[in-house]
A = this chain, B = another copy of it.
């Protein structure tokens, strides 16, 4: 493939060792708790949790067990995502016991594959004669994509080809079925995923066929007459979901027009970002200018008109979808965990297309807030929907909030999010740096070592910090010999004041900033040290004047962390709280809270309700207030102390 973009690369996961005071806890949790827990979940061994049946489906399809298929049409993908997470864990550190379990699963998956390469337990068990007849609704390509991602991760980690061969055979089968050639299906997936997976498969096989197939799927999307209608007609108009909205509402799966004509983030948010990640991945490989512009245009609409401060996207439950520009309700929100993970995939690939701070800023926002908040501190329960405001009492009787669970759940009937968090955290090492030619972009500040090659020399960069609690970040260089390359440090958009010293010498940022990165060119040798100091005061964040749900309100942010107030610290009726514009906000270290974290203590005012009486409405009432001290905790840590109210956006009271 001709690549007109500057050559960029994702650092292989085994080139990165994370040793971070913040993240290592979560990565160990994924290894020690989450992956084993999810293995139990996939095997239906978690008491009182929604059943999964996903492993059982594979065993039945493999002929190893008797029984009936159970679960969503995309149940297979939960196993694939689990396998992918395992692959990432093994890439960092081999673990024979875990590998043994994975190998056994792989044996079952291989057995479940049909002779011709087809692999999908739902169709194999339930509708063997209906393969590829309902792409719109039935997730065959989505499941295939996840299996490919899992296989690539596992192969990269272990070098074992078995599952890779399975997915090559699967991808070849898909390539036989789909394509513009006569006799092939001119169709595309209902839930995008196969596209980015095919690009990953290409990266381990170097087989350009997969790039072409990816491009075919992306270019076919949205053509008229619509494929969903064509296949529905062929099926005789049947549908697999309760109603036929997926077929009718083309925008739900971004199939309403060709991708290069799409103007806005629309429809199912996860599908949207998975698609965009696929387009960006392909465009980085092929240099397709139209596709690059599509990525830029869709990115821009999403992050400047439809994203929550927490990096959540998708503000309506219906269709788990984007809403309209600037419509960002905090309580009836969707903001699916998976959508923010997909947003990170998209951001990572945009960084590879053009290393510009804004992509990494959004990646950081989504990671530290929504994605991390999607999992409990103990790794055993998860949010699917990530609200910015929760009032459990109001939810008792209003089904408008039914999708908003005020506490994390053990598992889900539709269990896409938990394994997605696991694979995201297990592969975190891939998101810290982007390498472009002779520049390494440090886009996330996570401590540990990473190994690069410049001028054929092995270079190790070590990061050290107490981020995100503290903005002092230290880099040290180790190199076989003195090597020319550039180190680009992201100066986050949230940071007003940054300082850099190189080997103790203060470096002016004037003239070295490019797209939000401070570019340190030089000839680096072992022992060189860079100190980056990002000032991290508490920031009062305001929403765009067009967002009506943030009007008159303020949110607190410090570094990448968005804060919130919870009933556990601040009592109930948080809507009565007002933060004065000149009130003192202090950062305090609370060592008892979740292993220690920085909280923000704010002087505030609370409207008193005691003497109001019973009337719902009063004319010219005397408003009684009292001074209160509010404790803000990082949003990601909310809902770890039982059921209660929570609010990110707090009423602001102007002090004149």
**Contact residues of A with B, CB < 8 Å?**
266, 303-305, 307, 309, 315-319, 321-327, 329, 332, 391, 393-400, 494, 496, 539-548, 551-552, 555, 557, 573, 575-576, 578, 607-609, 612, 614-621, 623, 651, 653-656
Nearest Cβ on chain B to A305's Cβ, whole angstroms: 7
Looking across the interface, which residue of chain B has its beta carbon closest to that of A307?
B616
> Contact: A617 with B651, CB < 8 Å?
no
- Residue in contact with A655 in the complex, picked from B309, B539, B656, CB distance below 8 Å: B656
Q: Which of A391, A398, A651 has the most CB of B within 10 A?
A: A398
7 pairs of A and B residues whose beta carbons are closest in the complex: A548-B575, A318-B399, A539-B619, A323-B398, A327-B394, A545-B609, A324-B397
Total identical chains: 2
The majority secondary structure among interface residues of chain A is: loop
A540 to chain B, nearest CB (A): 5
- With both beta carbons as reference points, the residue of chain B lying nearest to A302 in the complex is identified as B616
What is the minimal beta-carbon distance from A561 to any residue of chain B, in angstroms?
A: 13
For residue A332, which residues in chain B have a CB less than 8 angstroms away from its CB? 332, 400
B396 contacts A615, C-beta separation under 8 Å: no
In the complex, chain B residues whose CB is within 8 Å of the CB of A400: 316-318, 323, 329, 332, 400
20 inter-chain pairs at a CB distance below 8 angstroms, sorted by A residue, are: A266-B397, A303-B616, A309-B616, A318-B398, A323-B400, A324-B394, A324-B397, A326-B394, A541-B618, A541-B619, A543-B616, A546-B609, A547-B575, A547-B616, A551-B576, A551-B651, A552-B578, A557-B619, A654-B654, A656-B656
Give the chain B neighbours of A303 by CB distance below 8 A: 616
Q: Which residues of B contact A655 (CB under 8 A)?
A: 656
Complex interface: chain B residues within 8 A of A305 (CB): 616
* Nearest B residue (CB) for A317: B400
Beyond A316-B400, A578-B552, A653-B654, is A619–B494 a contact (Cβ under 8 Å)?
A: yes
B651 touching A552, Cβ below 8 Å: yes
A394: chain B residues within 8 A (beta carbon) = 323-324, 326-327, 548
Contact A542 B621 (CB under 8 A): yes
Asked if residues B324 and A544 are in contact (CB atoms below 8 Å), the reply is: no
- Across the interface, which residues of B come within 8 angstroms of A396, CB to CB? 324
A343 to B580, CA, bound (A): 40
Which of chain B's residues has its CB closest to A621's CB? B542
Contact partners of A316 in chain B: CB under 8 A: 397-400
A202 → chain B closest CB, angstroms: 35
Given the interface pairs A398-B324, A655-B656, the reply to whether A617 lies near B544 with Cβ below 8 Å is: yes
